[in-house]
Structure 1
């Protein structure tokens, strides 16, 4: 069985199958904020989606982080390290990418145990 959450015409924000939660890429809503603020927004969105799947950040298996500018790596890590659960840090990759909207500084995709 596949469960889909926040289903739209193009994509779902979350799909759960066989006890694994797959989140769509999460981006900030308030783009006036710096990288720390934008990352915090994205992490809060991830928390909310994981809760819908009956999961939480301690159960994240993998995170893929896309930065518009690698100069923001330290600021993103500042927010990330304050958010992750010590001892439960997931496998992670970070890359620079051209994001859909130029005002977005970060996009994060996670896969978690549900």
Structure 2
């Protein structure tokens, strides 16, 4: 079986596809200084784009791990998440509080999807 890697550099690939499954690297917002709602929208848009690169879409997400810099953002993030996930396609999901790579980043999301 072939392993496909997309948007790869020396350190990592943004997407790896193997055996009909796409693994996305953790996605962070484009604007670290934006509010939580905007950061969440940016991360979800990045996920949409990368899933398309892999030949799949958000209706096929199997699992999502959401990292929040502070759990006080949980409700605000969920409002954007719930509007984004297609009806009847909610993946298995975990949400945790974590120190992220830059203190201005409020959210990072990693997903695994069927292709």
**TM superposition score normalised by structure 1:** 0.99
SS at match of 2:29: coil
Cα RMSD, aligned residues only: 0.5
Matched, 1:85 2:82: no
Which residue number in structure 1 is paired with residue 102 of structure 2? 101
Query: How many residues get paired?
Result: 114
Which residue number in structure 2 is paired with residue 54 of structure 1? 55
Q: CA deviation at 1:26?
A: 0.1
Matched, 1:42 2:43: yes
Which residue number in structure 2 is paired with residue 2 of structure 1? 3
Q: CA deviation at 1:9?
A: 1.2
Matched, 1:69 2:74: no
Q: Deviations over 1:44-97 (max 9, x none)?
A: 000000001110000000000000000000110011011000100000000000
Which residue number in structure 2 is paired with residue 111 of structure 1? 112
Q: CA deviation at 1:32?
A: 2.2
After the TM superposition, which parts of structure 1 deviate over 2 Å for at least 4 consecutive aligned residues? none
Q: Deviations over 1:7-65 (max 9, x none)?
A: 01100000000000000000001122111110000000000000011100000000000
Between 30-39 and 96-105, the greater mean CA deviation after superposition: 30-39
SS at match of 1:94: strand
Which 5+ residue runs of structure 2 have no aligned equivalent? none
Which 5+ residue runs of structure 1 have no aligned equivalent? none
